[in-house]
Chain A
Amino acid sequence: MLDRDEDILKAAEDWQKAGRGVALATVVETWGSAPRPAGSSLVINDEGTFLGSVSGGCVEGAVVTEAMDVIQSGKPKMLEFGVADETAWNVGLSCGGTIRVFVEKVG
């Protein structure tokens, strides 16, 4: 069993307790050669600091931007990235896979 985002969830709790707005992004589905398996996660705070990874670097920027909205609104969002996506030209996965990422507010 490989490392399971140990400190990410700890950081989510610590940041939230320190009064920061925090969002958690989690890979919930993958198709094709997605770089990170379902369950991989990224934690983001309202300063834009993030830990972890949902794609090994390909789409983190876009996820962080969306996470800022989620921290504001409190409403969860489902994001999809991949070659079939319009945004593929900007932030698609170079490996040809597709991933769905669930973004939720913490707290």
Chain B
Amino acid sequence: MKLDILHELNAERAARRPVILVTDTESGEQRLVKAKDFARDPLRTELEKQLRMGKSASVEAGGKKLFLNVYAPTAKLVIIGAVHISQALAPLARSLGYDVTVVDPRTAFASPERFPDIPLIAEWPDTALPPLNVDAYTAFVAVTHDPKIDDPALLHAFERNCFYIGALGSRKTHAKRGDRLRAQGAKESDIARIHAPIGLAIGAVSPSEIAVAIMAEITAVLRLPPKEKEEAA
């Protein structure tokens, strides 16, 4: 590997931008493809598929044996609300490989006894969120049921282009939320990005089942191609 490629690869990884290193395993020739350049790459179908799955693989293209080494950032999950659902959601998400953070300004909820070993920030979203570096590899879930906490958090998630944004509440609650967010300057396209009611429709009842429904939905958004994604949601 040429030093400039290695240097660029390390810089992209540090910046949490996904890249794929393409190696011709016969000649040793290599090139680094950034996710933003996939669309105009001759290997775009393979690149998009492997990145979506977060999986490195050998492929054959144009008579060449190529190895596609996928460097995807570790996905983060930010949970707004240290509520009962979050107590089930946080460990489940962690077992799926997410870096999990729980934010709730209400110290009675955000207590380490309720969330052993989970990073917990007992601050309002305005204070808690900026240092978290919420980005396009972050799933964002607002479950406090309290507009004072959920709304500013959702506005932050829009701004940071999170790959998944979900919020707890019925269709009626969600319609009211849409009105409030619109009044605060949110775009229609942003509001449309919120998954609400949150989670895949699996008839979840208990907090743990709702956590499963949420992680199933996040997984579908992360892994499925765009068309199948729509069908699942």
Q: Tell yes or no: A106 within 8 A of B by CB.
A: yes
Residue A106 contacts which of B6, B25, B71 (CB distance < 8 angstroms)? B6
Residues of chain A with a CB closer than 8 A to B23's CB: 26, 28, 102, 104
Interchain CA distance A3-B54 in the complex, whole Å: 12
Residue numbers of B with Cβ under 8 A of A are 1-3, 6-7, 9-10, 13, 23, 25, 28, 54-58, 67, 69-75, 97-98
Evaluate contact between B9 and A9: CB separation under 8 angstroms. Answer: yes
Residues of chain A with a CB closer than 8 A to B73's CB: 1
Evaluate contact between B56 and A1: CB separation under 8 angstroms. Answer: no
Residue A12 contacts which of B6, B13, B25, B75 (CB distance < 8 angstroms)? B6
Residue numbers of A with Cβ under 8 A of B are 1-4, 6, 9-10, 12-13, 16, 24, 26, 28-29, 37-39, 75-76, 78, 100, 102, 104-107
Evaluate contact between B28 and A26: CB separation under 8 angstroms. Answer: no
Evaluate contact between B10 and A13: CB separation under 8 angstroms. Answer: yes
Residue A1 contacts which of B1, B9, B57, B97 (CB distance < 8 angstroms)? B97
Evaluate contact between A29 and B58: CB separation under 8 angstroms. Answer: yes
Assuming the contacts A9-B13, A13-B7, A39-B56, asked whether A3 and B74 have C-beta atoms less than 8 A apart, the reply is yes
Residue of A nearest to B3 (CB): A107
Residues of chain A with a CB closer than 8 A to B71's CB: 4
Q: A4-B72, A38-B56, A78-B25 are in contact. List 7 more A-B contacts (CB 8 A).
A: A1-B54, A1-B98, A4-B71, A10-B10, A16-B6, A28-B56, A38-B69
Closest Cβ of chain B to A31, distance in Å, is 11
Closest Cβ of chain B to A13, distance in Å, is 5
Evaluate contact between A24 and B25: CB separation under 8 angstroms. Answer: no
Interchain CA distance A10-B97 in the complex, whole Å: 22
Residue of B nearest to A12 (CB): B6
Interchain CA distance A72-B31 in the complex, whole Å: 23
Evaluate contact between A38 and B57: CB separation under 8 angstroms. Answer: yes
Closest Cβ of chain A to B94, distance in Å, is 12
14 inter-chain pairs at a CB distance below 8 angstroms, sorted by A residue, are: A1-B74, A1-B75, A1-B97, A9-B10, A13-B3, A16-B3, A24-B1, A28-B23, A28-B25, A38-B58, A78-B25, A104-B23, A105-B1, A107-B1
Residues of chain A with a CB closer than 8 A to B69's CB: 26, 38-39
Residues of chain B with a CB closer than 8 A to A78's CB: 25
